[in-house]
């Protein structure tokens, strides 16, 4: 972080640990948090924070692999955290002036960077219609969790100049296929989005909140099945 401040670099770091004796929660996380926010030395000297940085703390847990709607939704929410890490994009935002139902999709935006993660393939035609109304800018990266391998190019044809369709990392896709329920959950288009009347209808986490609040992502597997130790992004 100090080198970035000195030369304007954009270095990033991912640190993994088993948190033995609380070293991650109580030592490493706290040290980095204070470097970002600033702190006071024992002699009373104030040290300014390197505030142009952020810090996120993820924990891993096991997910059951039985085919069920509950397990499917837990897995896609956990996998979304991995996609956020892959794209260095963490701030959820209104989607075309609307609040997305997180059961169906989540939208992330930071400056010109934009990412849309769709969990319900039947919502795609309606989502494409919303994209038509959005201002132009950097293309939206779109990931779709679906029952098959179809890329949905046709559904996005009319907004092809506004989106980049991205394949899910293979490890995520494979794990998702293993927990899919035999029957698709109900989809109600009226529940897809909610119009936002006031600009503050959605609370967006600023960098300070993100730095101070641990986030959780989950690993795949269960106590009596194989564990996926690493996901290649």
pLDDT digits (tens, 9 = 90+) for 44-63: 999 999 988 888 888 878 88
- Model-wide pTM > 0.85: no
pLDDT at 124: 92
Domains in the chain, number: 2
Domain with 21, as residue range(s), is: 2-47
pLDDT digits (tens, 9 = 90+) for 126-183: 999 999 999 888 999 999 998 777 778 899 999 999 999 998 888 888 888 888 887 6
- Above 80 in pLDDT, residue 91? yes
- Above 90 in pLDDT, residue 106? yes
Answer yes or no: do 168 and 136 share one domain: yes
First to last CA, the chain: 24
pLDDT at 186: 67
- CA atoms lying within 13 Å on the CB side of residue 169: 17
pLDDT at 224: 40
Answer yes or no: do 92 and 140 share one domain: yes
Answer yes or no: do 89 and 171 share one domain: yes
pLDDT at 188: 66
Answer yes or no: do 192 and 78 share one domain: yes
- CA atoms lying within 13 Å on the CB side of residue 121: 13
**What proportion of the chain, given as a percentage, has pLDDT over 90?**
31
């Amino acid at each position: 972080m100090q080198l970035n401040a000195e030369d304007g670099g954009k270095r990033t770091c991912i640190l993994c640990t088993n948190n033995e004796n609380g070293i991650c929660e109580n030592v490493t996380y706290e040290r980095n948090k204070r470097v970002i926010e600033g702190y006071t030395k024992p002699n009373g000297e104030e040290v300014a924070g390197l505030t142009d940085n952020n810090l996120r703390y993820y924990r891993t847990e096991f997910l059951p692999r039985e085919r069920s709607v509950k397990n499917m939704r837990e897995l896609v929410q956990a996998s979304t955290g991995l996609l956020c890490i892959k794209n260095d994009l963490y701030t959820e935002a209104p989607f075309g002036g609307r609040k997305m139902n997180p059961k169906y999709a989540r939208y992330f935006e930071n400056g010109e960077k934009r990412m849309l993660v769709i969990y319900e393939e039947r919502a795609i035609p309606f989502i494409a219609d919303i994209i038509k109304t959005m201002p132009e800018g950097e293309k939206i990266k779109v990931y779709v969790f679906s029952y098959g391998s179809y890329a949905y190019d046709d559904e996005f044809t009319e907004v092809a100049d506004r989106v980049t369709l991205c394949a899910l990392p293979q490890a995520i896709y494979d794990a998702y296929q293993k927990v899919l329920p035999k029957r698709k959950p109900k989809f109600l288009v009226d529940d897809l989005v909610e119009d936002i009347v006031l600009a503050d209808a959605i609370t967006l986490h600023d960098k300070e909140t993100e730095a101070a609040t641990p986030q959780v992502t989950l690993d795949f597997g269960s106590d009596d099945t194989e564990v996926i130790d690493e996901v290649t992004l």
